[in-house]
Structure 1
């Protein structure tokens, strides 16, 4: 759980700093206000995918004890790789836009790998979560059955 908390906190800091970088970098390079650059999206991507999603996962880990499973470990590292790759390529592409330079297929390809890593990691997360939810449901059903049986015996 500590790794999840630390990662969420790190992404919160990076998300705030990326917003500051966007504002100052575009000002310093006289980038026209209102024109699109991917730098403006990095802030929300890091705060949402990194900070908020990991806080939700932290809560789910607290309830279901997910972090002990191998699937969850794979999810955690692959997810972080995906967020970092995606955000990094957005910064690179956005910086090139502000500087008036062209992006290239390599940037798009690496960003695509980041998105693939995010997708695979989220599938792994749901598999890990499903395992715990189904196990908890089975235990809850057994407890209800035992309680109903005990009640009928006492009558």
Structure 2
């Protein structure tokens, strides 16, 4: 996101959900957060970043970047659903199939595009409910595509 778009988003603040402040104390007030807890959380994180070891969540040292000076940003992220109802038909190898269930050679599907499993069932009411399917289908589609390519030689 360009910095100009970022600044415009903060300025317009559609949805009353994105704020920028120079201090944590000012940041905390936007969502009625306990200032002392927010400050302690950031102080702990900065300590972990300086020592190169995250003692709380074991975040990799390459990704520990201290945030010692403002400005600070806070955003409220509201839940939303990304669902696929219908999707592209596929078999157990995540090969795309036509309406008559015939495999389309060399075409594989994964992620939300392959959620034919939800074709007539509306059970996706929780954010992230298809994450396991997305990861698993991508992994298996790639492995099966690799085998298919090897079979062409």
Q: Would you call these one fold, judging by a TM-score over 0.5? A: no
Select the structure of larger CA radius of gyration.
2
Q: Which has the higher contact order (CA 8 A, sep 6+)?
A: 1
Identify, as 1 or 2, the structure richer in helix.
1
TM-score (norm 2): 0.28
TM-score (norm 1): 0.28
Identify, as 1 or 2, the structure richer in strand.
2
